[in-house]
Amino acid sequence: MKDGIRTVRVELGERSYDVIVGHGASRELAALLPPMARRAAIVTQPRIPRSFDTGLPTETFTIGSGEEHKSLATIAELSEGFAAAGITRNDVIIGAGGGMVTDVAGFAAASWHRGTAVVHVSTTLLGMIDAAIGGKTGVNLQAGKNLVGAFWQPNGVICDLDALATLPPREMRCGLGEMAKYHFLTGDDLLAMELVDRVATCVQIKADIVASDEREGGRRALLNYGHTLAHALEIESHFDLAHGEAVAIGLIYAAHLAHVLGRIDAHRVENHYRVVGGSYELETRLPDTDPAELIALMARDKKAIDGLTFVLDGPGGVEIVPDVEPEAVREALTVMAAHVP
């Protein structure tokens, strides 16, 4: 630790990298850039704070805000821009922003010249503890979230906590939705920690899981706890419901579904309400939606190899449960809609 800075190592052999967490962490950015880079292409959005110095000539590419811009069209626009700016495979792309920016910048980097180095500067809580870590990149299709993408590990990640001082309350809630997920994966009381330790602990949890299952062949899918319904809710709402808000509701739904399947008892369901709605003060009610549409959307989830697939709590903790019957999925939606916490 240096001046309140925490460094978490993501161990992936030759592709290992550091995640630097703390106030003023952006000062460490230049040290994460590949030595061969002669230019930097910064991918960002309007109003994203960019008080950092790469030490290189830079070209900035500003993409639109909103999930509709997390698309193949945006990747095409960036690629044309990289070509016009003369960005080569030996240069570096920097994704500066929240989870959408790092997903898009990472995929653009993976695609540009079949693989160009990328460094992420995460400016949201959700991005710091989840989206910017682990090398999953991608964009959305009308059929579903993140269906087109690549695994492309960054050279490093900056989590400068100074960026959170101006983060809108809704964006903070989105981060807390992902943080609540880690609570159920580990049982750690993250809210009892100082902010720098809270963020670094979440990063360490994800780093350990990614190191053991980089390409989501098994254990890494546990990071999708609460996400199956969450992604469906985002699409069904035309993204009026933000990701972290949807994850919070998805965590509650996953508990109800686990109860319907006999995996957990009613006390454990209520524990989910106490953590998500009580400790993290997030919305736990199911929006007024069409159950048939949600089930259809959940069936398109990336995990859905054997029918409807969920990450669910159980006697041995959270695990992947394939081939869940649609009747159980529908029953859990009905029970949740009628539940009074």
Q: What is the pLDDT of residue 157?
A: 98
Q: Can you give the pTM of this predicted structure?
A: 0.90
Radius of gyration of the chain (CA): 20
- Those residues whose C-beta lies under 8 Å from the C-beta of residue 153, and which sit 6 or more positions away, are 10, 12, 15, 17, 134, 135, 214
Exposure b/e, 193-226, CB count within 10 A at least 16 = b: eeebebbbbbbbbbbebbbeebebeeebbbbbbb
Mean pLDDT of 173-185: 94
Distance of CA 140 to the CA centre of its chain: 14
Contact between 107 and 82 under an 8 Å Cβ cutoff? The reply is no
Mean pLDDT, the chain, whole residue set = 94
Distance CA 235, CA 242 (A): 10
Q: What is the pLDDT of residue 2?
A: 62
Distance CA 79, CA 69 (A): 15
Residue with the larger pLDDT of the pair 142 and 73: 73
Q: What is the pLDDT of residue 248?
A: 98
pLDDT at 45 over 60: yes
- Those residues whose C-beta lies under 8 Å from the C-beta of residue 71, and which sit 6 or more positions away, are 139, 140
Mean pLDDT of 177-182: 95
Burial of 79 (0-12, 13-18, 19+ CB in 10 A): middle
Residue with the larger pLDDT of the pair 278 and 300: 278
Locate 266 and state its tokens: 């009613």
Backbone angles phi, psi at 290, to 5 degrees: -90, 110
Alpha helices in 261-306 (DSSP H): 266-273, 291-298
Closest-CA residue to 235 (of 304, 309, 296, 171)? 296
Mean pLDDT of 162-190: 93
Name the band, by pLDDT with cuts 50, 70 and 90, for residue 317: very high
Q: What is the pLDDT of residue 304?
A: 60
Q: Please write the tens of the pLDDT for every residue from 101-122.
A: 999 999 999 999 999 999 999 9
Q: What is the pLDDT of residue 142?
A: 87
pLDDT at 303 over 70: no
Locate 250 and state its tokens: 């998805």
Q: Please write the tens of the pLDDT for every residue from 228-273.
A: 999 999 999 988 999 999 999 999 999 999 999 999 999 999 999 9
pLDDT at 49 over 80: no
Q: What is the DSSP string of 194-231?
A: -HHHHHHHHHHHHHHHHHH-TT-SSGGGGGGTTHHHHH
N residues, the chain: 341
Q: What percent of the chain has pLDDT over 90?
A: 88
Name the band, by pLDDT with cuts 50, 70 and 90, for residue 302: low
Query: Which CATH fold would you assign to the domain 225-338?
Result: Dehydroquinate synthase-like, alpha domain (1.20.1090)
Locate 341 and state its tokens: 């916490």
The enclosing H or E element of 319 equals strand 319-324
Amino acid at residue number 185: L
Write down the architecture of domain 6-212 according to CATH.
3-Layer(aba) Sandwich (3.40)
pLDDT at 1 over 60: no
CB atoms within 10 A of CB 66: 10
Q: What percent of the chain has pLDDT over 70?
A: 98
**Lowest-confidence region among 132-136, 145-149, 276-280:** 145-149
Distance CA 20, CA 7 (A): 5
Mean pLDDT of 170-185: 94
In the chain, CATH 1.20.1090.10 covers 225-338
pLDDT at 86 over 90: yes
In the chain, CATH 3.40.50.1970 covers 6-212
Q: What is the pLDDT of residue 145?
A: 85
Q: Please write the tens of the pLDDT for every residue from 52-64.
A: 789 999 999 999 9
Residue with the larger pLDDT of the pair 51 and 241: 241
